[in-house]
Structure 1
Amino acid sequence: MRRFGQFACFDWSGQAVARPKGIALAVTEAGAKAPALVAPVKGWSRGEALHWLGDRAAENADMLIGFDFSAALPFVDHGSYFPGWGDSPGSARALWQWIDTFCAAEPHFSASTILEQDFLAQHFRYQVRRETITGTRFEGPLGRLRVTEQACRTQKRGNAVSCFNLVGAAQVGKSSLTGMRILHRLGGAIPIWPYDAIPEQGPMLVEIYTGIAARAAGLTGPTKLRDGNSLDEALASLGSAPHNRLLHYDDHSTDAILASAWLRRAANDSALWNPARLSAPLAQTEGWTFGVA
């Protein structure tokens, strides 16, 4: 099993603006040193995040990088991302390409154009002028779930939610759709587990869920931290030194810091690299959330 020397985590956002407040990045190294935030003066844009990833690829960084968004939509339940549509992509990479191409005219790597097409919008729950609309193909109270999301809930590692839900504070659909555009733009410059094999050297990307990191750190109630003392207590549970105090605390920054410390520890757990339900076909269509066994 490969040992990485550096670790990083992006907390992500689907906000359709130039510099989403929800994007945060923390970086750390092997050992016990606390992760530190990395941020442009004006905050992150998705384009700058893509550029940062490109730099890590160019320098062949010995880094495992987590991103907090879903890298694919549910597929195996119906054998399709968008059942009933003959042109639905057949693999995760084809899905990334299709979303990026379909939404190419949108600035900031946003992805709301999808909802302008009824045959696509019918799969989602979304809002129009504060009115919630549930598409005719949106299934059940939660929406369709990937296998890894089902496993996450079953294992009580977190309340994973459907990417087809674009409504509410807990939704991850918007951030995931924008994230898929970024994954396509990377163009294979950084391998992405489990779609790619683990490289012998250089950086690698994994999908994470910051709620898993919070539970691993001992949080039993709300998983969002908004003060330094609570963050240090959680970091200590993961074998990390206290962080350098921040001028401002928000759950995006603390999520990135805590998840980076968790990823450093979790990366050494061979079972997390070999989930029991992760098959080769599933790896190419739905992928998997690192941290779900």
Structure 2
Amino acid sequence: MRPDRFRHFAAIDWSGAAGERHAGIAVAICSAGDQAPELVRAGHRWSRAEVLDWLAGALPRDTLVGMDLGISLAFADRGAFLPGWAESPADARALWALVDATCADDPHLGVSSFVDHPAIAPHFRRHGGREGAHFADNGTRGGRGRFRVTERAQEAMGCKPYSNFNLVGAAQVGKSSLSGMRVLHRLAGRLPVWPVDPLPAHGSVACEIYTTIAAMAAGRTAQRSKIRDGGELDVALAALGSRAFGHMGAIDDHRSDAILTSAWLRTAAHDPGLWKPAGLTEEIARTEGWTFGAR
């Protein structure tokens, strides 16, 4: 990876919550060098559709943009995303298309129609104690759910990932991941998504991020990955070679996650090992994808 491959580095803290606009969405960007990242539209309450428009039409040239969501579902463990269903998609892009088509009538890029689909719901753990018969990784009830190969790599690094089939609890990432898949499908032909798409020689690229990995690179532990104080954020930025953001006092962790991870992408993007992790095969890239930074 040549040092000048990317000129800008953006990180998006995402939300799959119901409704149009979300306090949980934050977008930060920085340029090559050591300037502190900036919040895009600081103070703005983003909608998912607005983020899609920004990615499609306002992303600066040669930007590596990380999205804090799962870009796919587990496949390798059971040879299918939705085993036992004849219409289970064959790869990640087909999965994105299925999610978007199934949810065509869901407003605000929501995904309720997908997780409530009678053939799909048995694979998810939903609210109200509704755990599908196929939620667990061994095909029985209970447990943490199915995991992708990249999520097992995250565990080996000391992180605690959650299954994208889990839709319950404050830390669940299922609906945010599925809503993100609708965005990725609509970006087809305009923004490559690594590693589902090969890394092109030039231009902007999207990838999956896990903000805990960025925090750990900045000297935090997985248990203390969330930053809610401006001074602590500046300490973490300094550990990544970045100038201070300069916010005094409390800051919500959505904004701090985006800011810190943008700075981390700037330091990590040119590490060739992160683009070729040991567990990333062609089949995994095509079906499950990968989290940038997971080794």
Asked whether the two chains share a fold, i.e. TM above 0.5, the reply is yes
Structure 1 vs Structure 2 CA RMSD: 1.5
Q: How do residues 1-293 of structure 1 correspond to structure 2 at under 5 angstroms?
A: 1-2=1-2, 3-39=5-41, 42-56=44-58, 61-127=61-127, 131-139=128-136, 140-156=142-158, 158-220=159-221, 221-245=223-247, 249-293=251-295
Question: Contact 1:132–1:167 at 8 Å: present in 2 too?
Answer: no
Cα distance between partner residues in 2 of 1:116 and 1:39: 34
Cα distance between partner residues in 1 of 2:168 and 2:248: 31
SS at match of 1:44: coil
Query: Runs (4+) of structure 1 moved beyond 6 Å?
Result: none
Give the superposition deviation at 1:246: 6.8
Cα distance between partner residues in 2 of 1:16 and 1:40: 22
TM-score by length of 1: 0.94
Give the superposition deviation at 1:41: 5.7
Give the superposition deviation at 1:76: 1.1
Give the superposition deviation at 1:45: 0.7
Pair 1:263–1:42, CA change in 2 (3 A): closer
Cα distance between partner residues in 2 of 1:70 and 1:31: 29
Question: Contact 1:22–1:252 at 8 Å: present in 2 too?
Answer: yes
Question: Contact 2:231–2:247 at 8 Å: present in 1 too?
Answer: no
Cα distance between partner residues in 1 of 2:19 and 2:135: 27
**Size of the alignment, in residue pairs?**
287
Any unmatched runs of 5+ in structure 1? none
Cα distance between partner residues in 2 of 1:102 and 1:176: 15
SS at match of 2:224: coil
Cα distance between partner residues in 2 of 1:17 and 1:95: 23
Give the superposition deviation at 1:21: 1.4
Pair 1:226–1:247, CA change in 2 (3 A): closer
TM-score by length of 2: 0.94
Give the superposition deviation at 1:118: 2.9
Pair 1:40–1:249, CA change in 2 (3 A): closer
